[in-house]
Structure 1
Amino acid sequence: MRSPQPTSDDHDRLQLAVEAAGLDLWENDLVAGTVTHPATRTFIELGYSLEEVGNSLNFWLDIVHPEDRPAIDTALVAYREGRADNYRSEFRLLGKDGEWVWYANYGKVMRGAKESGMHRFIGVTFNINDRKQREEELARINRLLSLQNQQLDQMNNHLEKLSTTDPLTKLYNRRAVNERLHRLVSGEGAASGLLFVDLDNFKKTNDLYGHDVGDILLCQVAQRLQSCIDSNDMIARFGGDEFVLLIRAPENDRRPLRQYLESVCQLVLSVLAQPYVIGDLLVYSYGSIGAACFPEDGWSVDELTKRADIALYCAKKQGRNLYRFFEPSMEVALQQQDSIEKELRAALKSRQLELLYQIQVDRELKPIGVEALLRWHHPGCSARWNFCPMPWPAT
C-alpha cells in the first residue's frame, strides 16, 4: 500500500510554516545537478532577481565566500559518509551591493521512488548575520580583554619586580630579603647564613667625590659581591651602603656551615678591598661583615636580622675590614651599654654626677696639670664603676 502523495495544499502549508519561522526552503536535484526550488527569499535579500539566479547550482557556488567553501565541502562529505545525520553549514554570501552576509544551511537527501532513481536534496536557509556580528563583536571584545589581561599581567610582573628590586644596583631589596627569610624560618629552607656587609667610610667617599661617584661605587660593589656567591644564594641591597647575603652551603661541600661562611666572608673582604676604577679616580673602599646562622642564632626574621646587625656593629667597633659571627655576649654587652646610657641621662637630671679634679704631678711630685673625674653617685649600687669607655661619642 502506497503512502498518500502530498498535495499542493500540503506544499503551501509547509511553505507558509517555513516562511513564518524565517526559513527559506530550497530543493536541489542531485542527479541533474539543478535547482528544483531556489532559496528565493535569500537571493531577494541579497538583491538578486530570480532570472539572475537561474536553476543552476553554479550561481550559488559563485557567491559563496572563498574562505567558507572548505567548511561547506567538509560538511557535505561528513553527511555523505554517514558521519552526520544531516548537512549543516554556515557561510557568507556576496550581496549585489558587495557586502558579505552570513547564512546557515540545514539539509537532507530525500530518496524518491525506486523506479525514478531520483535523489532530492531538500533543506532550509536562514539569515544568521546578526548572530554572527554579535559573535564577532564578542570575539573582538574577548580578544581585547585577553590583550588587556596580558598587559595587566606584564604590568603586575613589572611592578612586582620593581617592588623587590633595588633601582640603583638592580639587586634584590629589603622586601625581597624579608620574604625569603620568612620562607626560610617557616620551614621551607635548610641551614643558612645571613651576612650583613657594610662599606667602611662610605660617607667619606661621597663627601670627597660626590654622590654620583658613590652610586657607581655601590654598583661595582654589587657586581663584586655577586661574584662571591652561588646562583642559588641571594644578594640584596638593604639600603645606603649596606648589603645582605643569604647563603646556604652547597650540597657537595662537607664543611660545617659556619666554616663555609667564614670562607665566604674572607673572599668578600678580599674582593671588596681591591681598588675601584671610577673614571679617572682610583677609589679604595673596604667592608665589614656581621654574620648570623639559621637556626642557631634565631628562629624568626627579627632575631636573625637583629643579630647579624649586632655582629656587624661589633666588627666595625673592633677595627673595620673584619667579619664577626654573632655571639650571645655581644647582645648582652649592647644591652648593658644601652642600660648605662639611659641611666646616665637620668643621672644628669637628678644630679647624681659629681665633678672632681685631681692634680697631676711629675717624678719630683711637682704639679704639672689637672685631670677631671666624674663620680656617679648611683643609689644603692657601687658596681657602676666597672665601665670605662665613654657612653656616647663626644661632640
Structure 2
Amino acid sequence: MQTQEPRIKKHESAEAVLDFENKRASTQLASPLDSRLTTMLESISDAFYMLDLDWRFIYVNKKAEYFLQRPRTELLGKVIWEKLEAVAGSAFETEYRRAVQENCAISFEAYYPPLGKWVELRVSPSAEGLAVYFTDISQRRHREDALRASEERFNIVMKATADAIWDWNAQSNEIWWNENIESLSGYSRKEIGTGTDWWLARIHPEDRQRVLHRVRSTLEGGTEHWMDEYRFARRDGSYAFILDRWYVLRDSEGNVLRMVGSMTDLSERRQAEIERDRLLKEKNLLLESTGEGIWGIDSQGLCTFINRAGAQMLGYEVQEALGKNMHDLVHYRHADGSAYPVKDCSIFQAYHSGKGAYEKDELFWRKDGTSFPVEFSSYPILDAGRIVGSMVTFRDITERKAAQSKIQHLAFYDSLTQLPNRRLLMERLSHALARSRRDSGRGALLFIDLDNYKTLNDTFGHDKGDLLLQHVAGRLKSCVRSSDTVARLGGDEFVIILEDLSTELAEAASHAKLFGEKILAALKEPYTLGSHEYFGGASLGIALFEHQGESLHEVLRRADLAMYRAKAEGRNTLRFFNPEMQAALMVKAALEADLRRALQEEQLVLHYQPQVDSAGRVTGAETLVRWQHPERGTISPAEFIPVAEATGMIRPLGHWVLECACRRLAMWARNEETAHFTLAVNVSASQLRCPDFVKDVLRTLESTGANPHRLKIELTESLLVDDVEGTINKMAALKAKGVGFSLDDFGTGYSSLAYLKRLPLDQLKIDRSFVSDALDDHNAAVIVNAIIMLGRSLGLEVIAEGVETEAHLDFLAQNGCQFYQGYFFSRPLIVEQFEALANTKLKESICAQSMECL
C-alpha cells in the first residue's frame, strides 16, 4: 500500500520539515498502546486520537468516532487531512502544523461545522506523532456568550439611562456608582469614593432619619425591594429631588449580600408638578373668582365641571349640577318659551361644526323657571381629531341687554313724549311707502303743529310747555289705531302715519279727513297744566300717498306744506296738499335760488322813503330794499323777504342793507345840506338773535365811517316777544354808542307797556293800518291819539307811516304828531331822486320861512 506524503505548507521552515521526517522514519506505523491506557482513553468524555509522523490515524477512541463522524476502521491508517478538511476546513491543519513546528503543546477553540458545536482542541506533539484531545465546549461558550451579551446590555443600559446606578457590597460596605452620579451630584467618582458616608451626608437633614429608618426596616424585614423620595445635595448647594429604588440580594439563609439600586432625578418633574399645582391653584382661584360661569361638558352633554359662579347663576349647587344633562341644566327654550330638541342647541351645534370656538347670545333658564340672557362661548375639546366634549364660558348680560334696549329707545324715541322720533318715523314711513307700492294701497301722512305754543312757553314757562306736549302725545295716540304711527319731529310738531286707508283715492281721503277732524277736536279740549287750565288748538296738513313711487321726503314735504296752508288760513283747521301747493313750492324754490344769485350779482338796490317833520322838511329816510330781477323786473319785498326769512338768507341780506345804509350816511356827512339826515334800517328777528349782532353793527359803523347818531334801527313788536331781556341788553349796548331805535308797527303786536318803558327807544312809529282808518273809524282815531300822547309822556318822538292824503296829515298834525312818512310826500326813491327831493323840500322850506318873515 502506497502511502500519501503529507502536504508541506509553504510557510513551514525546511528545518522543521526535515526534523519531522527524521522522527517519522524512526517510528513504526502502529505500535500497540498499553491496554490500561486504552481502557482509560475509551472511558473519557473527550474525543481523543493519535496521529503518526505521516499524519495518519494510529488510534481513535469511541468519542472521536462521534466527532469525526466516521468509524475507527475507516479512519485508522488514513491521513487526517483527507477526512478532516472536507468537513472542518483548513483551520485545524494550521494549528496542528504550528504545534509541530513550535514543538509544543497548544490548545485552541474553533467552531466544528459537522456537529454545529464549539470545540476545544489540545494538540501535544511527541516523537511518535501527535496526541489530540477534542472537547465539546458548546455549553460553556453559550454561557460565556450570554454573559458577554448581558454585560453588553448592561453597558448599553448604563449609557442609555439617566439614572445613577449603584451597587453596595454589604460585606465590604463599598459602593460602586456609574458615571451618571457625577452629573446628578456634581462630584467626580474619584471624589465620591466607595464608602457609604458620602451618600448619607448628601441626604437632606430633614429627610435623613426617615430614609435611614426605611433602609433598616427593609434590611431587617426581609423584603426584597425598597423605594423612597428624598432631597439630595448637589455640589453647588442646591438639592435634587431623588427617587431611589433598592433591590436586596440575600443568601440562602436570608443574609444580605448586596443591594443594587438606581437614583432618578425628579427635580424637573417635581418643579413641573410644583408649577402645575401653582397654576392649578391659580386656575381654580381664577375660575372661582371670575364672575363668568364656566362648565365642562362631555360628548353626551353631561356636566363634568362647573364653577361656583356658573352654578349660582343657574340656581344650583356645584355638586347638584355635576352629571346633569346640559339641556336639562339650562332648560333651552325658544323666544316664546317653548322647548326645542337638544340637537338644535347652539352648544351641540358647535360639536359638529368643525369651526373651533362657537359664540352666541342665548336665553338660559334657571332652576326656578326664570330666564336670563347670556353670552356664551363654546370651545370643543379634541382627542385625536375627535370631539370628546366642550368647555363653555357664559356671562349674564341682563344689564347689557337693558342698556342696549335703553340706547335703542333713546336712538329711536323722543325722551319727553316717548313717541317715535324723526329717525324712527323716517324708517316706518319708508316701510309704509314700500308696502303701499307692493299692495296697491293708499295711506296718509298727517303733519300737526300746535297753535300759539310759543306764547304758552313764554307765558307759563317751559315746564308747562313740556307738560302740554306730553298731553298732546297721549291724545294723538288715542285718536288713531294701534297699527298707525304717532311721532314727534321736534318742538311742537307731530306726524302721524295712517296706513291701509283704502285702495280708492276718494275713500282714503275721506278716512284721512275723519282722523284729522277727530284729532283737532281732541286737541281743542282744555288741558290741565298744574294749576292752570289751558285751551289750545292745532293746524293740520294731510298728504295722501299711494303706489306712485313718491319719496318719503316728498311726502313729508307735502304734508308740511299743507299744514302751513292750514295755519295761514286761520289756524285750528286742516288742509290737504294739492298740486297748486306744489306749484307754489316750486316757485318758492326757484325764487330762493334767484335770491342767492341776486346777492352775488348785485341785483338788489336800496330805495329811500323820505321822513319829514311838521314843517315839511326832510329829516331822513327809511331804507327799503328792492330787487331788480333781470327777467322778472322789480320784485316786491313782500314776495322775497319771507323767502329770505324761511331760508336763512335774511341775515346776509340784512347785513348788506346795513352796510349800504352806513356807507350812504358817511357820504351824506361830507355835505352840509345832507349831513343832518338819518337813515332807518329794519332788522329781522334772526339778525337780532345773533350773538354777534352788536359787534356786527359797530364793526360796520367803524368800517364805513358812518356817524352812529345818524343810524336808526327799526324793530317790530314781534321781535320783543322772543327774548325781551336779551333785546334790551343789545339795544342798550348800541344806544351807548349813539345808535337810535324806532319801534315799528306799534300797537299791532303783543308787547307789554311794562317792557316799553324799559326799552331804550327814541321813536314810536304808528302803523299804517291805524292811520288809514283814523278818518273813518273812531276806534282807530282814538288809538292814534293815544299812541301820540303815550310817546310824548315817555319823551319819545312819534312818526306816522302810511300818510297818503292831506286829510291824513291834517288829522295827525291836529293830534300833535310831528313826523310823517307816506305817499303823500313821496314813494320810495333811488338815492339820486331822494337827494333831489330833499333839496327841493329844503328850498321850499326856506322860501316859506322867508314869506312868513315878510
**TM-score, normalised relative to structure 2:** 0.27
Q: Which residue of 2 aligns with 1:173?
A: 421
Correspondent of 1:161 among 404, 409, 417: 409
| SS of corresponding position for 2:306 | helix
User: 1:273-292 alignment to 2 at 5 Å?
Assistant: 273-292=524-543
C-alpha separation in 2, matches of 1:156 and 1:355:
59
Q: Which residue of 2 aligns with 1:257?
A: 508
Give the counterpart letter for 2:517 in structure 1: Q
State the Cα distance separating 1:339 from its structure 2 match: 2.7
Q: Which moved more, 1:286-295 or 1:149-158?
A: 149-158
Correspondent of 2:479 among 228, 231, 241: 228
State the Cα distance separating 1:307 from its structure 2 match: 1.7
C-alpha separation in 2, matches of 1:329 and 1:312:
14
Residues 244 and 344 of structure 1: is their aligned pair in 2 closer, same or farther, counting only changes over 3 Å?
closer
Deviations 1:156-188 (A, max 9, x none): 444433433222112222222222112222236
State the Cα distance separating 1:332 from its structure 2 match: 2.3
C-alpha separation in 1, matches of 2:547 and 2:570:
26
C-alpha separation in 2, matches of 1:172 and 1:218:
14
Give the counterpart letter for 1:391 in structure 2: I
| SS of corresponding position for 1:319 | coil
Contact 2:628 2:635 in 1 (8 A): no
Mapped pair 1:237 → 2:492:
no
Q: Which residue of 2 aligns with 1:202?
A: 453
State the Cα distance separating 1:348 from its structure 2 match: 4.8
Q: Which residue of 2 aligns with 1:391?
A: 641
| SS of corresponding position for 1:135 | strand
C-alpha separation in 1, matches of 2:593 and 2:536:
35
State the Cα distance separating 1:223 from its structure 2 match: 1.4
Residues 298 and 205 of structure 1: is their aligned pair in 2 closer, same or farther, counting only changes over 3 Å?
farther
Q: Which residue of 2 aligns with 1:136?
A: 306
| SS of corresponding position for 2:513 | helix
**Structure with bigger RCO (C-alpha 8 Å, 6+ apart):** 1
Contact 1:194 1:292 in 2 (8 A): yes
Please report the RMSD computed on the Cα atoms of aligned residues, expressed in angstroms.
Answer: 4.0
Residues 291 and 347 of structure 1: is their aligned pair in 2 closer, same or farther, counting only changes over 3 Å?
same
User: 1:41-80 alignment to 2 at 5 Å?
Assistant: none
Residues 383 and 259 of structure 1: is their aligned pair in 2 closer, same or farther, counting only changes over 3 Å?
farther
Correspondent of 1:270 among 508, 521, 539: 521
Contact 2:442 2:508 in 1 (8 A): yes
| SS of corresponding position for 1:391 | helix
C-alpha separation in 2, matches of 1:153 and 1:291:
39
Q: Which moved more, 1:167-176 or 1:217-226?
A: 167-176
State the Cα distance separating 1:329 from its structure 2 match: 2.3
State the Cα distance separating 1:300 from its structure 2 match: 2.2
Structure of larger gyration radius: 2
Q: Which residue of 2 aligns with 1:182?
A: 430
Give the counterpart letter for 1:213 in structure 2: K
Deviations 1:311-348 (A, max 9, x none): 22222233322222122322321232233244345435
State the Cα distance separating 1:242 from its structure 2 match: 0.9
Structure 1 stretches lacking a partner, 5+ long: 1-127, 360-365
Residues 184 and 356 of structure 1: is their aligned pair in 2 closer, same or farther, counting only changes over 3 Å?
closer
Contact 1:289 1:323 in 2 (8 A): yes
Residues 297 and 323 of structure 1: is their aligned pair in 2 closer, same or farther, counting only changes over 3 Å?
farther
Residues 166 and 347 of structure 1: is their aligned pair in 2 closer, same or farther, counting only changes over 3 Å?
closer
Residues 257 and 132 of structure 1: is their aligned pair in 2 closer, same or farther, counting only changes over 3 Å?
closer
Contact 1:197 1:312 in 2 (8 A): yes
State the Cα distance separating 1:206 from its structure 2 match: 1.0
User: 1:85-100 alignment to 2 at 5 Å?
Assistant: none
| SS of corresponding position for 1:172 | coil
Contact 2:443 2:501 in 1 (8 A): no
Give the share of equivalent positions with the same residue, in percent.
35
| SS of corresponding position for 1:247 | strand
Mapped pair 1:211 → 2:462:
yes
C-alpha separation in 2, matches of 1:378 and 1:255:
42
Q: Which moved more, 1:270-279 or 1:341-350?
A: 341-350
| SS of corresponding position for 2:479 | coil
Residues 135 and 221 of structure 1: is their aligned pair in 2 closer, same or farther, counting only changes over 3 Å?
same
C-alpha separation in 2, matches of 1:133 and 1:184:
50
Deviations 1:26-47 (A, max 9, x none): xxxxxxxxxxxxxxxxxxxxxx
C-alpha separation in 1, matches of 2:569 and 2:637:
17
Contact 1:193 1:292 in 2 (8 A): yes
Q: Which residue of 1 aligns with 2:688?
A: none
Residues 181 and 135 of structure 1: is their aligned pair in 2 closer, same or farther, counting only changes over 3 Å?
same
State the Cα distance separating 1:217 from its structure 2 match: 0.4
State the Cα distance separating 1:224 from its structure 2 match: 1.4
Deviations 1:14-70 (A, max 9, x none): xxxxxxxxxxxxxxxxxxxxxxxxxxxxxxxxxxxxxxxxxxxxxxxxxxxxxxxxx
C-alpha separation in 1, matches of 2:584 and 2:548:
16
Residues 218 and 317 of structure 1: is their aligned pair in 2 closer, same or farther, counting only changes over 3 Å?
same
Residues 260 and 377 of structure 1: is their aligned pair in 2 closer, same or farther, counting only changes over 3 Å?
same
| SS of corresponding position for 1:170 | coil
Q: Which residue of 2 aligns with 1:300?
A: 551
C-alpha separation in 2, matches of 1:287 and 1:169:
17
